[in-house]
Chains A and B, each alone.
Chain A
Amino acid sequence: MSSIGFDSCFYDRLDQFSKSLNHVLLASKGKMDFAGEADWSQTLELVKTLSAEDGNSLAASSVAACLKSRPGVSPKWEVVAQALETRKLDQGALKTLFALAWSLDEERAAVLMRMRQGHD
Protein backbone atom coordinates (compact mmCIF):
# COMPACT_ATOMS: atom_id res chain seq x y z
CA MET A 1 0.00 0.00 0.00
CA SER A 2 1.33 3.46 -0.82
CA SER A 3 2.17 6.00 1.82
CA ILE A 4 -0.15 8.57 0.33
CA GLY A 5 -3.06 7.29 2.39
CA PHE A 6 -1.42 8.35 5.57
CA ASP A 7 0.57 11.33 4.36
CA SER A 8 -2.57 12.99 3.04
CA CYS A 9 -3.87 12.86 6.62
CA PHE A 10 -0.60 13.93 8.21
CA TYR A 11 0.26 16.98 6.16
CA ASP A 12 -2.32 19.23 7.83
CA ARG A 13 -0.86 18.50 11.24
CA LEU A 14 2.68 19.32 10.19
CA ASP A 15 1.51 22.48 8.48
CA GLN A 16 -0.47 23.59 11.49
CA PHE A 17 2.51 23.37 13.86
CA SER A 18 4.96 24.70 11.28
CA LYS A 19 2.83 27.79 10.78
CA SER A 20 2.40 28.46 14.49
CA LEU A 21 6.09 28.05 15.24
CA ASN A 22 7.14 30.34 12.37
CA HIS A 23 4.71 32.96 13.64
CA VAL A 24 6.01 32.66 17.21
CA LEU A 25 9.57 33.09 15.97
CA LEU A 26 8.53 36.13 13.96
CA ALA A 27 6.88 37.57 17.06
CA SER A 28 10.06 37.00 19.01
CA LYS A 29 11.85 39.16 16.44
CA GLY A 30 9.48 42.01 17.14
CA LYS A 31 6.90 41.23 14.46
CA MET A 32 4.07 40.73 16.89
CA ASP A 33 1.34 40.99 14.24
CA PHE A 34 2.26 37.56 12.91
CA ALA A 35 1.49 35.57 16.05
CA GLY A 36 -1.92 35.13 17.63
CA GLU A 37 -2.80 33.40 20.88
CA ALA A 38 -3.43 30.14 19.01
CA ASP A 39 0.11 30.19 17.60
CA TRP A 40 1.66 30.50 21.05
CA SER A 41 -0.55 27.80 22.56
CA GLN A 42 -0.01 25.35 19.70
CA THR A 43 3.74 25.80 19.79
CA LEU A 44 3.74 25.33 23.55
CA GLU A 45 1.61 22.21 23.13
CA LEU A 46 4.10 20.70 20.68
CA VAL A 47 7.12 21.55 22.84
CA LYS A 48 5.45 20.16 25.96
CA THR A 49 4.62 16.98 24.06
CA LEU A 50 8.23 16.72 22.89
CA SER A 51 9.39 17.08 26.49
CA ALA A 52 7.14 14.29 27.76
CA GLU A 53 6.58 10.79 26.49
CA ASP A 54 3.06 11.56 25.39
CA GLY A 55 0.64 14.45 25.40
CA ASN A 56 -3.05 15.06 25.44
CA SER A 57 -3.32 16.46 21.92
CA LEU A 58 -3.55 13.80 19.21
CA ALA A 59 -2.08 16.15 16.63
CA ALA A 60 0.89 17.15 18.80
CA SER A 61 1.58 13.56 19.87
CA SER A 62 1.61 12.36 16.30
CA VAL A 63 3.91 15.14 15.06
CA ALA A 64 6.21 14.84 18.08
CA ALA A 65 6.62 11.09 17.50
CA CYS A 66 7.60 11.74 13.90
CA LEU A 67 10.19 14.36 14.93
CA LYS A 68 11.62 12.14 17.64
CA SER A 69 12.65 9.71 14.92
CA ARG A 70 15.51 12.05 14.07
CA PRO A 71 18.95 11.18 15.30
CA GLY A 72 21.03 13.64 17.31
CA VAL A 73 21.15 15.22 20.73
CA SER A 74 17.74 15.75 22.37
CA PRO A 75 17.20 19.39 23.30
CA LYS A 76 16.02 20.37 26.78
CA TRP A 77 12.39 20.86 25.86
CA GLU A 78 11.30 21.61 29.44
CA VAL A 79 13.43 24.79 29.42
CA VAL A 80 12.00 25.85 26.06
CA ALA A 81 8.47 25.20 27.31
CA GLN A 82 9.09 27.48 30.29
CA ALA A 83 10.42 30.20 27.98
CA LEU A 84 7.33 29.89 25.78
CA GLU A 85 5.04 30.11 28.79
CA THR A 86 6.59 33.41 29.86
CA ARG A 87 6.98 34.45 26.20
CA LYS A 88 10.57 35.38 26.88
CA LEU A 89 12.71 33.46 24.40
CA ASP A 90 16.42 33.70 25.16
CA GLN A 91 19.12 32.76 22.64
CA GLY A 92 19.14 29.13 23.77
CA ALA A 93 15.39 28.72 23.36
CA LEU A 94 15.45 30.54 20.01
CA LYS A 95 18.20 28.29 18.71
CA THR A 96 16.23 25.18 19.66
CA LEU A 97 13.03 26.55 18.15
CA PHE A 98 14.78 27.49 14.90
CA ALA A 99 16.08 23.94 14.63
CA LEU A 100 12.56 22.65 15.31
CA ALA A 101 11.15 24.96 12.62
CA TRP A 102 13.57 23.53 10.06
CA SER A 103 12.77 19.97 11.16
CA LEU A 104 9.07 20.63 10.62
CA ASP A 105 9.81 22.24 7.27
CA GLU A 106 11.90 19.28 6.18
CA GLU A 107 9.27 16.75 7.22
CA ARG A 108 6.52 18.80 5.57
CA ALA A 109 8.51 18.96 2.32
CA ALA A 110 9.18 15.21 2.49
CA VAL A 111 5.49 14.44 2.97
CA LEU A 112 4.56 16.70 0.06
CA MET A 113 7.09 14.98 -2.15
CA ARG A 114 5.84 11.53 -1.18
CA MET A 115 2.29 12.60 -1.96
CA ARG A 116 3.33 13.88 -5.37
CA GLN A 117 5.18 10.67 -6.14
CA GLY A 118 2.55 8.46 -4.57
CA HIS A 119 5.00 6.09 -2.93
CA ASP A 120 7.54 5.81 -0.11
Chain B
Amino acid sequence: MIESYIQGATSQLIERAMALKGEIPKPPKMEFQALANECRRRIDESIKELRAIRDDRDFEDPEDETLRLLEFRRVAAQIDRVENAAIAAMARSTEKESAVASLLCQITKEIIYPIELPTASLLSQNYFYVNTDFQLLCIPLMELHFLLHLPDIYHELAHPLFRAEDDPRTKGWLDAFRQAQRLISAYFTKQLVALESARTTDTIRLAVSDAYKSWQCRWMEEFFCDLFGVFSVGPAFAWAHLHLHAERGRNAFQLPRRFSTHPADAPRMTVMLDALTVLNQGKSAAEVETKWKKLLSIAGQTEPSDFQRYYPKHVLRECVEQAFEGFAAMGCKPWPGNDTDAIRRTLNEAWQRFWTAPQSFAAWEKEVTEALIPSATS
Protein backbone atom coordinates (compact mmCIF):
# COMPACT_ATOMS: atom_id res chain seq x y z
CA MET B 1 0.00 0.00 0.00
CA ILE B 2 2.66 2.49 1.10
CA GLU B 3 4.63 2.23 -2.16
CA SER B 4 1.60 3.08 -4.30
CA TYR B 5 0.54 5.79 -1.90
CA ILE B 6 3.97 7.44 -1.83
CA GLN B 7 4.28 7.29 -5.61
CA GLY B 8 0.93 8.96 -6.15
CA ALA B 9 1.01 11.45 -3.29
CA THR B 10 4.58 12.68 -3.79
CA SER B 11 4.03 13.15 -7.53
CA GLN B 12 0.94 15.21 -6.82
CA LEU B 13 2.74 17.24 -4.18
CA ILE B 14 5.62 17.97 -6.56
CA GLU B 15 3.10 19.33 -9.08
CA ARG B 16 1.53 21.45 -6.36
CA ALA B 17 4.89 22.78 -5.23
CA MET B 18 5.90 23.73 -8.76
CA ALA B 19 2.56 25.45 -9.33
CA LEU B 20 3.03 27.38 -6.12
CA LYS B 21 6.01 29.19 -7.59
CA GLY B 22 3.66 30.56 -10.22
CA GLU B 23 1.58 32.15 -7.46
CA ILE B 24 4.44 34.38 -6.34
CA PRO B 25 3.37 37.81 -7.62
CA LYS B 26 5.29 39.01 -10.66
CA PRO B 27 7.43 40.97 -10.13
CA PRO B 28 7.63 40.61 -6.35
CA LYS B 29 7.22 43.94 -4.58
CA MET B 30 10.39 45.31 -3.07
CA GLU B 31 9.19 44.59 0.49
CA PHE B 32 8.50 40.96 -0.44
CA GLN B 33 11.80 40.21 -2.23
CA ALA B 34 13.35 38.38 0.72
CA LEU B 35 10.19 36.38 1.35
CA ALA B 36 9.83 35.46 -2.33
CA ASN B 37 13.43 34.22 -2.44
CA GLU B 38 12.91 32.19 0.72
CA CYS B 39 9.73 30.62 -0.70
CA ARG B 40 11.49 29.69 -3.92
CA ARG B 41 14.40 28.16 -1.99
CA ARG B 42 12.08 26.11 0.20
CA ILE B 43 9.97 24.91 -2.70
CA ASP B 44 13.07 23.78 -4.59
CA GLU B 45 14.36 22.00 -1.49
CA SER B 46 10.99 20.32 -0.94
CA ILE B 47 10.77 19.14 -4.55
CA LYS B 48 14.26 17.65 -4.26
CA GLU B 49 13.30 15.88 -1.03
CA LEU B 50 10.04 14.58 -2.47
CA ARG B 51 11.83 13.18 -5.51
CA ALA B 52 14.31 11.43 -3.24
CA ILE B 53 11.47 9.86 -1.23
CA ARG B 54 9.60 8.84 -4.38
CA ASP B 55 12.39 7.64 -6.61
CA ASP B 56 14.53 5.69 -4.13
CA ARG B 57 13.02 2.19 -4.42
CA ASP B 58 15.43 0.82 -1.86
CA PHE B 59 12.98 1.22 1.04
CA GLU B 60 12.36 -2.37 1.98
CA ASP B 61 11.88 -3.15 5.66
CA PRO B 62 9.10 -1.68 7.83
CA GLU B 63 11.47 0.83 9.45
CA ASP B 64 12.38 2.15 6.00
CA GLU B 65 8.72 2.61 5.20
CA THR B 66 8.16 4.40 8.49
CA LEU B 67 10.94 6.81 7.65
CA ARG B 68 9.57 7.37 4.21
CA LEU B 69 6.19 8.24 5.67
CA LEU B 70 7.72 10.54 8.31
CA GLU B 71 9.68 12.44 5.67
CA PHE B 72 6.66 12.67 3.39
CA ARG B 73 4.58 14.12 6.22
CA ARG B 74 7.26 16.65 7.10
CA VAL B 75 7.79 17.85 3.53
CA ALA B 76 4.04 18.01 2.91
CA ALA B 77 3.72 20.25 5.98
CA GLN B 78 6.58 22.40 4.70
CA ILE B 79 4.80 22.99 1.41
CA ASP B 80 1.62 23.70 3.33
CA ARG B 81 3.47 26.39 5.33
CA VAL B 82 4.92 27.98 2.20
CA GLU B 83 1.48 28.10 0.61
CA ASN B 84 -0.64 29.20 3.55
CA ALA B 85 1.72 31.39 5.51
CA ALA B 86 4.07 32.95 2.99
CA ILE B 87 2.73 32.88 -0.56
CA ALA B 88 -0.79 33.72 0.58
CA ALA B 89 0.64 36.82 2.29
CA MET B 90 2.29 37.94 -0.94
CA ALA B 91 -0.52 36.98 -3.28
CA ARG B 92 -3.16 38.79 -1.23
CA SER B 93 -1.09 41.86 -0.40
CA THR B 94 -2.13 45.38 -1.29
CA GLU B 95 -0.46 48.77 -1.18
CA LYS B 96 -1.14 48.78 2.55
CA GLU B 97 1.68 46.30 3.09
CA SER B 98 4.10 48.90 1.75
CA ALA B 99 2.83 51.32 4.37
CA VAL B 100 3.36 48.72 7.11
CA ALA B 101 6.88 48.09 5.86
CA SER B 102 7.57 51.78 6.06
CA LEU B 103 6.12 51.96 9.58
CA LEU B 104 8.25 49.02 10.70
CA CYS B 105 11.31 50.64 9.22
CA GLN B 106 10.65 53.80 11.21
CA ILE B 107 9.96 51.84 14.43
CA THR B 108 13.18 49.89 14.14
CA LYS B 109 15.23 53.02 13.37
CA GLU B 110 13.93 54.66 16.52
CA ILE B 111 14.90 51.78 18.78
CA ILE B 112 17.98 50.71 16.76
CA TYR B 113 16.64 47.21 16.18
CA PRO B 114 19.73 45.03 15.80
CA ILE B 115 18.81 42.55 13.06
CA GLU B 116 17.05 42.48 9.70
CA LEU B 117 13.42 43.59 9.63
CA PRO B 118 10.72 40.95 9.25
CA THR B 119 8.43 41.17 6.26
CA ALA B 120 5.00 42.54 7.17
CA SER B 121 1.59 41.23 6.16
CA LEU B 122 -1.96 42.31 6.93
CA LEU B 123 -3.23 38.75 6.58
CA SER B 124 -3.56 37.99 10.28
CA GLN B 125 -6.92 36.66 11.42
CA ASN B 126 -5.66 36.31 14.94
CA TYR B 127 -4.20 39.43 16.51
CA PHE B 128 -0.46 40.11 16.05
CA TYR B 129 1.99 37.26 15.54
CA VAL B 130 5.22 36.53 13.78
CA ASN B 131 5.98 33.45 11.71
CA THR B 132 9.63 33.01 12.55
CA ASP B 133 10.12 30.35 9.89
CA PHE B 134 9.52 33.06 7.28
CA GLN B 135 10.33 36.14 9.37
CA LEU B 136 6.80 37.28 8.59
CA LEU B 137 5.04 39.67 10.94
CA CYS B 138 1.26 39.36 10.66
CA ILE B 139 -1.03 42.19 11.67
CA PRO B 140 -4.84 42.24 11.59
CA LEU B 141 -6.22 44.10 8.57
CA MET B 142 -7.76 47.05 10.40
CA GLU B 143 -5.18 47.47 13.13
CA LEU B 144 -3.25 50.20 11.31
CA HIS B 145 -6.30 52.46 11.54
CA PHE B 146 -6.00 52.47 15.30
CA LEU B 147 -3.20 53.17 17.75
CA LEU B 148 -3.95 51.48 21.05
CA HIS B 149 -2.85 47.94 20.16
CA LEU B 150 0.07 48.93 17.94
CA PRO B 151 2.62 48.75 20.82
CA ASP B 152 2.27 44.96 20.53
CA ILE B 153 4.31 45.15 17.33
CA TYR B 154 7.36 45.68 19.57
CA HIS B 155 6.68 42.37 21.35
CA GLU B 156 6.55 40.56 18.01
CA LEU B 157 9.78 42.19 16.88
CA ALA B 158 11.53 40.49 19.79
CA HIS B 159 10.70 36.91 18.72
CA PRO B 160 13.11 36.86 15.75
CA LEU B 161 15.95 37.85 18.11
CA PHE B 162 15.69 34.36 19.65
CA ARG B 163 16.26 32.82 16.20
CA ALA B 164 19.50 34.76 15.76
CA GLU B 165 21.78 32.52 17.83
CA ASP B 166 25.52 32.72 17.11
CA ASP B 167 25.11 36.34 16.03
CA PRO B 168 27.13 39.07 17.75
CA ARG B 169 24.26 41.52 17.29
CA THR B 170 22.00 39.56 19.62
CA LYS B 171 24.60 38.01 21.91
CA GLY B 172 23.96 40.33 24.88
CA TRP B 173 20.21 39.70 24.73
CA LEU B 174 20.54 35.93 24.44
CA ASP B 175 23.15 35.78 27.20
CA ALA B 176 20.70 37.63 29.44
CA PHE B 177 17.96 35.22 28.41
CA ARG B 178 20.11 32.19 29.25
CA GLN B 179 20.98 33.69 32.62
CA ALA B 180 17.27 34.23 33.32
CA GLN B 181 16.59 30.61 32.30
CA ARG B 182 19.23 29.46 34.77
CA LEU B 183 17.55 31.48 37.52
CA ILE B 184 14.17 29.94 36.85
CA SER B 185 15.68 26.44 36.54
CA ALA B 186 17.36 26.83 39.92
CA TYR B 187 14.11 28.02 41.47
CA PHE B 188 11.98 25.16 40.10
CA THR B 189 14.57 22.48 40.78
CA LYS B 190 14.55 23.57 44.42
CA GLN B 191 10.74 23.66 44.45
CA LEU B 192 10.42 20.16 42.98
CA VAL B 193 12.93 18.71 45.44
CA ALA B 194 11.08 20.34 48.33
CA LEU B 195 7.73 19.03 47.09
CA GLU B 196 9.11 15.49 46.82
CA SER B 197 9.86 15.40 50.51
CA ALA B 198 6.76 17.34 51.57
CA ARG B 199 3.28 16.05 52.24
CA THR B 200 1.51 17.56 49.27
CA THR B 201 -0.89 16.50 46.54
CA ASP B 202 0.08 15.08 43.16
CA THR B 203 -1.97 17.86 41.59
CA ILE B 204 0.39 20.49 42.98
CA ARG B 205 3.49 18.51 42.00
CA LEU B 206 2.14 18.13 38.49
CA ALA B 207 1.21 21.81 38.23
CA VAL B 208 4.70 22.85 39.37
CA SER B 209 6.26 20.44 36.89
CA ASP B 210 4.04 21.76 34.07
CA ALA B 211 4.88 25.33 35.01
CA TYR B 212 8.60 24.54 34.92
CA LYS B 213 8.34 22.98 31.45
CA SER B 214 6.26 25.90 30.22
CA TRP B 215 8.89 28.33 31.50
CA GLN B 216 11.64 26.39 29.70
CA CYS B 217 9.71 25.83 26.54
CA ARG B 218 7.71 29.00 26.08
CA TRP B 219 7.09 31.42 28.92
CA MET B 220 10.51 32.93 29.38
CA GLU B 221 10.61 33.94 25.73
CA GLU B 222 7.17 35.52 26.08
CA PHE B 223 8.27 37.46 29.15
CA PHE B 224 11.40 38.64 27.39
CA CYS B 225 9.34 39.75 24.39
CA ASP B 226 7.09 41.73 26.75
CA LEU B 227 10.18 43.28 28.30
CA PHE B 228 11.57 44.19 24.90
CA GLY B 229 8.22 45.86 24.27
CA VAL B 230 8.29 47.92 27.48
CA PHE B 231 11.93 48.93 27.06
CA SER B 232 11.17 50.01 23.48
CA VAL B 233 7.88 51.84 23.75
CA GLY B 234 7.51 52.49 27.48
CA PRO B 235 4.14 52.84 29.23
CA ALA B 236 2.16 52.40 26.00
CA PHE B 237 3.11 48.73 26.02
CA ALA B 238 1.72 48.13 29.50
CA TRP B 239 -1.45 50.02 28.57
CA ALA B 240 -1.81 47.84 25.48
CA HIS B 241 -1.54 44.76 27.69
CA LEU B 242 -4.28 46.07 29.94
CA HIS B 243 -6.39 46.81 26.85
CA LEU B 244 -5.87 43.32 25.41
CA HIS B 245 -6.70 41.68 28.71
CA ALA B 246 -9.84 43.78 29.12
CA GLU B 247 -10.99 42.93 25.60
CA ARG B 248 -9.97 39.30 25.20
CA GLY B 249 -8.02 38.01 28.18
CA ARG B 250 -8.78 34.94 30.26
CA ASN B 251 -8.40 34.89 34.01
CA ALA B 252 -5.31 36.98 34.76
CA PHE B 253 -4.33 34.44 37.43
CA GLN B 254 -4.89 31.32 35.38
CA LEU B 255 -3.00 28.41 36.87
CA PRO B 256 -0.53 26.49 34.68
CA ARG B 257 -1.90 23.87 32.34
CA ARG B 258 -0.09 21.42 30.13
CA PHE B 259 1.09 23.01 26.90
CA SER B 260 0.02 26.53 27.92
CA THR B 261 1.72 28.80 25.45
CA HIS B 262 1.60 32.08 27.33
CA PRO B 263 2.11 32.94 30.98
CA ALA B 264 -0.90 34.33 32.82
CA ASP B 265 -1.71 38.00 32.24
CA ALA B 266 -1.16 39.11 35.86
CA PRO B 267 2.52 38.12 36.14
CA ARG B 268 3.06 39.57 32.68
CA MET B 269 1.77 42.88 33.99
CA THR B 270 3.95 42.55 37.11
CA VAL B 271 7.01 42.23 34.91
CA MET B 272 5.95 45.21 32.78
CA LEU B 273 5.51 47.40 35.85
CA ASP B 274 8.95 46.39 37.11
CA ALA B 275 10.37 47.22 33.69
CA LEU B 276 8.79 50.68 33.78
CA THR B 277 10.45 51.23 37.15
CA VAL B 278 13.79 50.23 35.67
CA LEU B 279 13.15 52.88 32.98
CA ASN B 280 12.51 55.49 35.73
CA GLN B 281 8.85 55.63 34.73
CA GLY B 282 7.58 55.06 38.26
CA LYS B 283 4.70 57.54 37.90
CA SER B 284 3.41 55.81 34.78
CA ALA B 285 3.85 52.42 36.42
CA ALA B 286 1.70 53.56 39.35
CA GLU B 287 -1.01 54.84 36.99
CA VAL B 288 -1.09 51.57 35.06
CA GLU B 289 -1.10 49.53 38.24
CA THR B 290 -4.04 51.43 39.71
CA LYS B 291 -6.17 50.88 36.63
CA TRP B 292 -5.04 47.27 36.29
CA LYS B 293 -6.08 46.47 39.85
CA LYS B 294 -9.40 48.17 39.25
CA LEU B 295 -9.96 46.11 36.11
CA LEU B 296 -9.19 42.84 37.90
CA SER B 297 -11.45 43.84 40.75
CA ILE B 298 -14.36 44.57 38.40
CA ALA B 299 -13.81 41.21 36.70
CA GLY B 300 -13.68 39.49 40.08
CA GLN B 301 -10.22 38.08 39.43
CA THR B 302 -8.14 37.48 42.52
CA GLU B 303 -4.77 35.92 43.09
CA PRO B 304 -4.92 32.31 44.32
CA SER B 305 -2.99 31.72 47.52
CA ASP B 306 -0.25 29.61 45.93
CA PHE B 307 -0.01 31.58 42.67
CA GLN B 308 3.51 32.87 43.32
CA ARG B 309 4.72 29.29 43.46
CA TYR B 310 4.50 29.31 39.63
CA TYR B 311 5.55 32.93 39.10
CA PRO B 312 8.08 33.78 41.85
CA LYS B 313 8.21 37.57 42.13
CA HIS B 314 11.86 37.78 43.18
CA VAL B 315 12.92 35.72 40.14
CA LEU B 316 10.70 37.79 37.84
CA ARG B 317 12.38 40.95 39.13
CA GLU B 318 15.82 39.52 38.43
CA CYS B 319 14.67 38.57 34.93
CA VAL B 320 13.67 42.18 34.32
CA GLU B 321 17.13 43.39 35.33
CA GLN B 322 18.81 40.76 33.18
CA ALA B 323 16.64 41.65 30.20
CA PHE B 324 17.41 45.36 30.52
CA GLU B 325 21.13 44.64 30.53
CA GLY B 326 20.65 42.48 27.44
CA PHE B 327 18.58 45.16 25.71
CA ALA B 328 21.29 47.75 26.37
CA ALA B 329 24.05 45.33 25.34
CA MET B 330 22.43 45.00 21.89
CA GLY B 331 22.76 48.77 21.52
CA CYS B 332 18.99 49.28 21.47
CA LYS B 333 17.72 52.67 22.54
CA PRO B 334 15.22 52.43 25.41
CA TRP B 335 12.15 54.57 25.96
CA PRO B 336 11.87 57.60 26.04
CA GLY B 337 14.52 57.87 23.32
CA ASN B 338 14.67 61.11 21.32
CA ASP B 339 12.14 63.91 20.90
CA THR B 340 12.07 63.05 17.20
CA ASP B 341 10.93 59.47 17.73
CA ALA B 342 7.54 60.08 16.16
CA ILE B 343 6.12 56.56 16.35
CA ARG B 344 6.76 55.65 19.96
CA ARG B 345 5.93 59.13 21.16
CA THR B 346 2.62 59.08 19.29
CA LEU B 347 1.72 55.67 20.73
CA ASN B 348 2.28 57.01 24.25
CA GLU B 349 0.46 60.24 23.54
CA ALA B 350 -2.46 58.16 22.28
CA TRP B 351 -2.80 56.43 25.62
CA GLN B 352 -2.53 59.70 27.55
CA ARG B 353 -5.27 61.22 25.41
CA PHE B 354 -7.37 58.08 25.66
CA TRP B 355 -7.50 58.43 29.43
CA THR B 356 -7.77 62.20 29.64
CA ALA B 357 -10.31 62.72 26.85
CA PRO B 358 -11.97 59.41 25.95
CA GLN B 359 -14.92 61.11 24.21
CA SER B 360 -12.82 62.95 21.68
CA PHE B 361 -10.14 60.27 21.37
CA ALA B 362 -11.52 58.56 18.27
CA ALA B 363 -11.48 61.75 16.21
CA TRP B 364 -7.96 62.61 17.36
CA GLU B 365 -6.79 59.06 16.65
CA LYS B 366 -8.22 59.14 13.13
CA GLU B 367 -6.47 62.37 12.32
CA VAL B 368 -3.15 61.27 13.78
CA THR B 369 -3.21 57.82 12.20
CA GLU B 370 -3.89 59.30 8.76
CA ALA B 371 -0.88 61.55 9.18
CA LEU B 372 1.37 58.87 10.63
CA ILE B 373 0.58 55.99 8.25
CA PRO B 374 -1.13 57.76 5.32
CA SER B 375 -1.22 55.05 2.64
CA ALA B 376 -2.35 52.37 5.06
CA THR B 377 -5.41 54.26 6.18
CA SER B 378 -6.53 55.76 2.87
Query: Could you tell me which A residues sit within 8 Å of B by CB distance?
Result: 1-12, 15, 18-19, 22, 25-26, 29-31, 33-34, 53-54, 56-59, 61-66, 68-69, 94, 98, 101-102, 105, 108-109, 112, 116, 118, 120
Contact B73 A118 (CB under 8 A): no
Contact B74 A65 (CB under 8 A): no
Number of B interface residues at 8 Å Cβ cutoff, please give it: 56
Which residues of chain A have C-beta atoms less than 8 A from B265's C-beta? 1
Contact A9 B221 (CB under 8 A): yes
Contact A69 B210 (CB under 8 A): yes
Q: Total A-B pairs in contact (CB under 8 Å)?
A: 128
Contact B181 A61 (CB under 8 A): yes
Closest B residue by C-beta to A114: B261
Which residues of chain A have C-beta atoms less than 8 A from B181's C-beta? 54, 61
Contact B74 A62 (CB under 8 A): no
Whether B159 sits at the interface, judged by CB under 8 Å, is: yes
Known interface pairs A1-B244, A1-B262; A6-B63 also in contact (CB < 8 Å): no
Ordered by A's residue number, 26 sampled pairs between the chains whose C-beta atoms are within 8 Å are: A1-B248, A2-B127, A3-B262, A5-B128, A5-B156, A6-B218, A8-B129, A8-B138, A9-B132, A9-B159, A9-B221, A12-B132, A25-B67, A29-B63, A29-B64, A53-B189, A54-B182, A58-B178, A59-B163, A62-B218, A65-B216, A69-B210, A69-B258, A98-B63, A102-B70, A112-B81
What CA separation (Å) do A64 and B217 show in the bound complex? 8
Which residues of chain A have C-beta atoms less than 8 A from B132's C-beta? 8-9, 11-12
Query: Could you tell me which B residues sit within 8 Å of A by CB distance?
Result: 52, 56, 58, 63-64, 66-67, 70-71, 73-74, 77-78, 80-81, 84-85, 125-133, 138, 156, 159, 162-163, 165, 174, 177-178, 181-182, 185, 189, 210, 213-214, 216-218, 221-222, 244, 248-250, 258-259, 261-262, 265
Interface of A is mostly: helix
What CA separation (Å) do A6 and B218 show in the bound complex? 7
Q: Closest approach, in angstroms, between the C-beta of B94 and any C-beta of chain A? A: 22
Which residues of chain B have C-beta atoms less than 8 A from A116's C-beta? 84
What CA separation (Å) do A31 and B56 show in the bound complex? 9
Which residues of chain A have C-beta atoms less than 8 A from B162's C-beta? 9, 58
Contact A4 B129 (CB under 8 A): yes
Give the contacting residue for B77; candidates A69, A94, A102, A112; CB below 8 A: A112
Contact A15 B133 (CB under 8 A): yes
Contact B80 A22 (CB under 8 A): no
Known interface pairs A58-B174, A61-B216; A98-B77 also in contact (CB < 8 Å): no
Q: Closest approach, in angstroms, between the C-beta of B17 and any C-beta of chain A? A: 16
Known interface pairs A22-B67, A54-B181, A58-B162; A108-B74 also in contact (CB < 8 Å): yes
Q: Closest approach, in angstroms, between the C-beta of B78 and any C-beta of chain A? A: 7
Which residues of chain B have C-beta atoms less than 8 A from A63's C-beta? 217
Give the contacting residue for A6; candidates B64, B128, B213, B262; CB below 8 A: B262
Which residues of chain B have C-beta atoms less than 8 A from A112's C-beta? 77, 80-81
Contact B127 A57 (CB under 8 A): no
